[in-house]
Chains A and B, each alone.
Chain A
Amino acid sequence: MALKGSGLGLRREMLDDVSALTPKDVDFLEVAPENWIGVGGRYGKAFREFTERFPFSCHGLSLSIGSADPLDIEFVKAVKHFLDVHGIDTYSEHLSYCSDNGHMYDLMPIAFSLDAAQYVADRVKQVQDIIQRPLVLENVSTYVMLGDGMSELEFMKEVIHRSGCKMLLDVNNVYVNATNHSFNPHEYIQSLPSESIEYLHIAGHFDEAEDLLVDTHGADVKPKVWELLKYAYQCHGVLPTLLERDFNIPSVSDLLAEVNLIKLYQQEVNYERQLA
């Protein structure tokens, strides 16, 4: 089932609080498959109850598509099985790497170059062959630039072009990186191929310094990021959009207030487009 409307990232620590949510509150939920594959007991039971009531997407953390380590084929097969068992069509991951001689459980920046783009694209195709779905890759927040001077935007477009993958456009990450690496976030968003964008993410960040933001998923979405979300809709159409909140998780009503803002921007831009 294709995603639509507004979504919320589901975490284990939220389970009790969000158990009363209905599809009227939020259209879809998202989990990291690495936190739920092979999990039984009370968490496994709660997860099955949610998947029976809501459409789901999966947003992976451990694929490490840009790593020098070999792809973990057994893991990719396990993800495919998990997606099939729970009837989940969308599997997104990060245009990043998180392992180097073993997993490091967080995201590191790929050293952008044409060779790296080809290397990643070849691995994307391998993954897509196994999962029998397009791989959807997210632009990630970075705090340093490795590589030979190729820009993130060029790299993203190269990988999409060479692999046929889809993109998960994380609007907050565009804002964070535009600040951290001094580029124009509007130009970045506007230059992306509309037909490749599968869905959007939005989240809060932390202002470490005027020119250095950290993607924490631990605060409310900033006004400038909301503006950028609206701009993304204006450029590429109103796409399904999910709120991520991983730390300092507030009450359900606060989470829903932000989900409702997504809905509001979606309605607003739909209306604008109808008028135009």
Chain B
Amino acid sequence: MSASLHKFKQHQQAFSEYIRTTTLSSAVSNLEDRRLKIYRELFFNNVEGFVSSAFPVLNEILNDDQWEVLVRDFFVTHPCDTPYFLKISEEFLQYLEYSKLDFLPVFSYQLAHWEWMELFADVAETGDESEELPNITLTDTVTTNDCTWNVGYDFSVHKISSDYIPEEAEATFLIVHRDSDLSVGFIEINPLSMLLFEQLKNNENTSVQDLLRDISEQQDISLDVIMQGGLDIIRQWGLIGLLKVC
């Protein structure tokens, strides 16, 4: 590499560094501030726009100063690998996992994950959308549709807003689904239903009754209770399009 080639890269790197940190170095100090200002504002506002549109609730529960510090910290400290704009939200999630900003509420990562999950369900390039599957019986063999995703959190992230900040942890299980009209919805479920959904997701050839029997044994719950309650839930899920025949 010639000295001049190295120089052009150094110059560009110093410029990028300035845009991120807004700290002047000798490489950019000869440039007019009003021109540099255009770059620092353009870039920061652009990244801020991506993050606030992906995480509106996290934005809402932080004050303006905190939000600016958070986005700046992301922009300065996190190297984004993705060339895809919709995946900037995933980069931000990765950043939140290790962010050391002390004003972030304890549930921040989980809240952001939930906000990302809703976006992901809207745009994921996946197989079948959910279709209604009525009249599931105990002898049917069913599994979950491709456009359904189950997630668990330590906080009731789906309820958080500026009017509701959880004081304590509360185990929360949610299923997100994209329907045949391509709209996204979610339902909240209990831990036992979460277990049932997990079993259905991995199911290849076990009938509903065998699957429920397995859960009854694993969880030490009466078979009658599980059979009736489980079948009711599976039927409801079939009606809202979460399941398909194996």
Residues of A within 8 A of B (CB): 32, 34-35, 37-45, 61-63, 66-68, 72, 75, 97, 100-106, 108-111, 113-116, 118-119, 143-144, 146-148, 180, 208-209, 212, 214
Contact = CB atoms under 8 A, between A and B. Distances in A.
B47 A144 contact: no
Nearest to A214: B38
B13 A68 contact: yes
Given A39-B86, A68-B13, A106 B43 contact: yes
A101 to B, nearest CB: 5
Given A146-B15, A208-B38, A41 B182 contact: yes
Interface stretch (B73-81, B131-139, B188-196): B73-81
Contacts of B20: 104
B16 A100 contact: yes
Given A39-B86, A41-B122, A68-B13, A104 B5 contact: no
Given A104-B20, A208-B34, 9 more contacts: A41-B182, A68-B13, A100-B13, A114-B4, A115-B7, A144-B32, A146-B11, A146-B15, A212-B35
A149 to B, nearest CB: 12
B4 A148 contact: yes
Contacts of B19: 104, 108
Interface residues of B, number: 46
B123 A40 contact: yes
A42 B35 CA distance: 40
A270 to B, nearest CB: 37
A105 B85 contact: yes
25 contacts: A32-B85, A34-B84, A35-B86, A40-B125, A40-B126, A41-B123, A41-B125, A41-B178, A42-B182, A66-B12, A100-B17, A103-B80, A103-B82, A104-B19, A105-B47, A106-B46, A108-B19, A111-B12, A113-B8, A114-B4, A143-B38, A144-B31, A144-B32, A146-B15, A148-B7
Given A40-B124, A41-B124, A144 B12 contact: no
- Residue with the greatest number of chain B CB neighbours at <10 A, chosen from A32, A34, A63, A144: A144
B82 A143 contact: no
B45 to A, nearest CB: 9
Interface in B19-34: 19-20, 31-32, 34
A212 B38 CA distance: 10
Given A100-B13, A100-B16, A146-B15, A42 B8 contact: no
